[in-house]
């Protein structure tokens, strides 16, 4: 096996990343597995770690120990290094709050099982990526409006930390959803998908998805596939809150698809303009405000998944 690159976010999952690394590092040494590890200390640092590992060490596989935010940063680094001819496979040992990426590719939460999948690397798949006009790349989803506010509130919330300590991190997203739901004000928007424009009144949410999951097991786009060269787009619109209540309790099972306030689209080129600027989230990380333009990068990344 060639030299492995490992990027660890010790703070992910309120310290779970650090605990997992302490468990895994002795195993790598006992098995004489050659690796180069870098630990993050600041937000955004994982991107540069990925670039450095790929350019200086010629690594062909990166293992990420962290959550969706860390994966998001690392993929940004992989894509930056790819511009200079470097390439690698991505594998994940989930250590975050939602772990939607891991869920989409069958990676278990058990660190030793996830490590075994990464080391065997028996099943590698090519996945699509979502790229914004600013060059930001997402692996899971990009959304504007309601989910942007939920992402911001969750990342700043004190309850996220203590729920992570209890192993209940996914509940943090649900609590944030309830808090934002009470005060959120929808607005008018214009969505363009592959050249066709749709006017949306009272828009709560527009999300562009590469996988079914986001926000900690919410099945926002149940039919989304990272292998079809298309993004799934969901729009939720309503002039009243009470009409949307059923969605809050059915979206986790993906059973909101028939609700009259929910519409779905598919496309390769997506633009969103809104009456007033709305927060944008990319893989759960705040990524500016609308307007928003997204293109698909077909088969843009190699991922090691469970068999």
Residue 258 is part of a domain; what is its CATH number? 2.60.200.40
- Model confidence pLDDT, tens digit, residues 204-229: 999 999 999 988 779 999 999 999 99
Task: Name the pLDDT band for 163 (thresholds 50, 70, 90).
Answer: confident
* Last residue in a domain, options 69, 89, 122: 122
The pLDDT of residue 295 is above 90: yes
Q: Are residues 152 and 202 in the same domain?
A: yes
pLDDT of residue 166: 74
Q: For residue 273, what are its two tokens?
A: 């303009």
pLDDT of residue 217: 79
11: helix, strand or coil = coil
CA angle in degrees (0–180, nearest 5) for 91-93-99 = 100
**306 belongs to a structural domain:** no
Q: Are residues 173 and 255 in the same domain?
A: yes
CA angle in degrees (0–180, nearest 5) for 213-65-155 = 55
Q: Give every CB contact of residue 153 below 8 A, 6+ residues apart in sequence.
A: 176, 179, 180
Q: Are residues 155 and 284 in the same domain?
A: yes
Q: Are residues 158 and 292 in the same domain?
A: yes
Q: Are residues 95 and 34 in the same domain?
A: yes
Q: For residue 109, what are its two tokens?
A: 């939460």
pLDDT of residue 4: 96
pLDDT of residue 202: 97
**135 belongs to a structural domain:** no
Q: Are residues 67 and 203 in the same domain?
A: no
Q: Are residues 145 and 114 in the same domain?
A: no
Q: Are residues 153 and 283 in the same domain?
A: yes
Q: Which residues pair with 196 in a beta bridge?
A: 193
% of the chain surpassing 90 pLDDT: 83
Looking at the structure of the chain, the number of domains it has is 2
Cα 181 to Cα 162: distance, rounded to the nearest angstrom: 22
- Model confidence pLDDT, tens digit, residues 41-64: 998 899 999 999 999 988 999 999
- Model confidence pLDDT, tens digit, residues 84-127: 888 899 999 999 988 999 999 999 999 999 999 999 999 999 99
Cα 231 to Cα 269: distance, rounded to the nearest angstrom: 8
pLDDT of residue 294: 98
Q: Supply the range of the domain harboring residue 41.
A: 4-122
pLDDT of residue 307: 85
**307 belongs to a structural domain:** no
The pTM assigned to this predicted structure is: 0.94
Whether 95 contacts 18, CB under 8 Å: no
* Last residue in a domain, options 122, 156, 184: 122
Dmax (CA) of the chain: 61
What mean pLDDT do residues 66-94 have?
A: 94
pLDDT of residue 158: 83
Q: Are residues 294 and 145 in the same domain?
A: yes
Task: Name the pLDDT band for 230 (thresholds 50, 70, 90).
Answer: very high
What mean pLDDT do residues 280-307 have?
A: 95
pLDDT of residue 1: 56
pLDDT of residue 168: 72
Q: Give every CB contact of residue 158 below 8 A, 6+ residues apart in sequence.
A: none
* C-alpha distance from residue 127 to each of 32, 88, 170 (Å): 31, 13, 25
Q: Are residues 165 and 261 in the same domain?
A: yes
Q: Are residues 154 and 291 in the same domain?
A: yes
pLDDT of residue 14: 84
Q: Residue 106: is it exposed, middle or buried by C-beta count within 10 angstroms (0-12/13-18/19+)?
A: exposed
**185 belongs to a structural domain:** yes
Residues in the chain: 307
What mean pLDDT do residues 151-163 have?
A: 83
Q: Are residues 273 and 186 in the same domain?
A: yes
The pLDDT of residue 161 is above 80: no
The pLDDT of residue 73 is above 60: yes
Per DSSP, 31 falls in state: T
Q: Which residue has the higher pLDDT, 238 or 173?
A: 238
What is the pLDDT of the chain when averaged over all its residues? 94
**Phi then psi for 269, rounded to 5 degrees?**
-130, 120
* Last residue in a domain, options 122, 151, 170: 122
The pLDDT of residue 233 is above 60: yes
């Amino acid at each position: 096996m060639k030299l492995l690159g490992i990027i660890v976010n010790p703070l992910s999952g309120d310290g779970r990343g650090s605990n997992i690394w302490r468990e895994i590092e002795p195993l790598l040494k006992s098995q004489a597995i050659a690796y180069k590890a870098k630990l993050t200390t600041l937000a955004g640092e994982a991107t540069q770690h990925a670039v450095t590992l790929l350019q200086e060490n010629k690594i062909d596989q990166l293992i990420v120990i962290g959550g969706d935010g860390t994966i998001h940063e690392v993929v940004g680094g992989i894509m930056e290094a790819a511009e200079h001819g470097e390439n690698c496979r991505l594998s994940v040992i989930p250590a975050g709050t939602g772990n939607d990426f891991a869920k989409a590719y069958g990676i278990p939460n058990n660190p030793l099982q996830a490590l075994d999948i990464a080391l065997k690397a028996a099943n590698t798949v090519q996945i699509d990526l979502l790229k914004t006009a600013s060059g930001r790349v997402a692996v899971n989803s990009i959304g504007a409006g309601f989910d942007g506010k939920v992402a911001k509130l969750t990342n700043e919330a004190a309850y996220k930390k203590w729920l992570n300590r209890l192993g209940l991190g996914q509940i943090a997203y649900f609590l944030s959803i309830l808090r934002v739901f009470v005060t959120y004000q929808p607005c008018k928007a214009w969505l363009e998908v592959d050249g066709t424009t749709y006017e949306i009144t009272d828009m709560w949410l527009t999300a562009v998805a590469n996988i079914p999951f986001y926000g900690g097991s919410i099945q926002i786009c149940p039919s989304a596939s990272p292998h079809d060269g298309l993004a799934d787009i969901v729009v939720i619109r309503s002039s009243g809150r009470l009409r949307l209540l059923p969605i809050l309790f059915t979206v986790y099972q993906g059973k909101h698809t028939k609700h009259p306030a929910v519409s779905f689209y598919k496309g390769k080129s997506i633009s969103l303009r809104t009456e007033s600027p709305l927060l944008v989230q990319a893989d759960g990380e705040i990524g500016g405000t609308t307007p928003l333009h997204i293109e698909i990068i077909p088969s843009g990344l190699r991922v090691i998944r469970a068999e």
